[in-house]
Amino acid sequence: MSGGRSVMLVLAGTSGAGKGTIARELVARNPALWLSVSATTRSPRAGERDGIDYWFLTSEEFTAQETNGGFVESFSVFGNRYGTPRAPLDERRANGDDVVLEIDVQGAAAIKATYPDALLVFVRTSSRAIQRQRLLARDPDVDPDILEARLAAAPTEEAEAENFSAVVINENFEQAAQDIELLMAQKRNSE
């Protein structure tokens, strides 16, 4: 993914669309691509590691970082707080590295406001049934109310897709990653 200007890729979309899986696939295929690690106040899911999947912060730690301007964007989503740490993102961009952020729809709008050259890609599933299936596979012990809230939020999130550079329907994460690589190449070559 080198050559020419660096690209800031923002993957956002519905819960369970596979944004994280696609982001990991992109990094595996392109080792020079840097994945921004978000901070959160939620508890780690099974197998998640601090500093790898998320920076897991207490509410007090999150507030302190937020107050000191440490996040490019931060929001509360489904009862937890999430934020994109500013310093590592700006450092990577200053080095000319391609970066990918996997965030929610609100966060994508905030990133675009701060970094107007960002490539925003909205990721969604092809159906609500597939979305439900993926959410349950990701967290079999998910609270049923949270599951329903995530599914109920999908139409509102999908309405925001018109504000994105592109929409990718994730039926197969390898194909979705390939489609996004093409979008990144087009973005780099158009600037």
| 163 occurs within a structural domain | yes
Residues 127-154 have a mean pLDDT of 90
Taking only the tens place, the pLDDT of each residue in 84-132 is 999 999 999 999 999 999 998 888 999 999 999 999 999 999 999 999 9
Highest mean pLDDT: which of 67-71, 74-78, 136-140? 67-71
Q: Would you list the DSSP string of the chain?
A: --SSS--EEEEEESTTS-HHHHHHHHHHH-TTPEEPPPEESSPPPTT--BTTTBEE--HHHHHHHHHTT-EEEEEEETTEEEEEEHHHHHHHHHTT--EEEE--HHHHHHHHHH-TT-EEEEEE-S-HHHHHHHHHHH-TT--HHHHHHHHHHHHHHHHGGGGSSEEEE-SSHHHHHHHHHHHHHHHHHH-
pLDDT > 90? residue 182: yes
Residue 182 belongs to domain spanning: 8-190
| 99 occurs within a structural domain | yes
* pLDDT number for residue 46: 86
| 2 occurs within a structural domain | no
| 1 occurs within a structural domain | no
pLDDT > 50? residue 14: yes
Residues 71-80 have a mean pLDDT of 89
| 108 occurs within a structural domain | yes
* pLDDT number for residue 2: 43
Please state the length of the chain. 191
| 95 occurs within a structural domain | yes
* pLDDT number for residue 4: 52
Look up the pTM and report it. Answer: 0.87
| 134 occurs within a structural domain | yes
CATH number at residue 178: 3.40.50.300
| 3 occurs within a structural domain | no
Q: Count up the domains in the chain and report the number.
A: 1
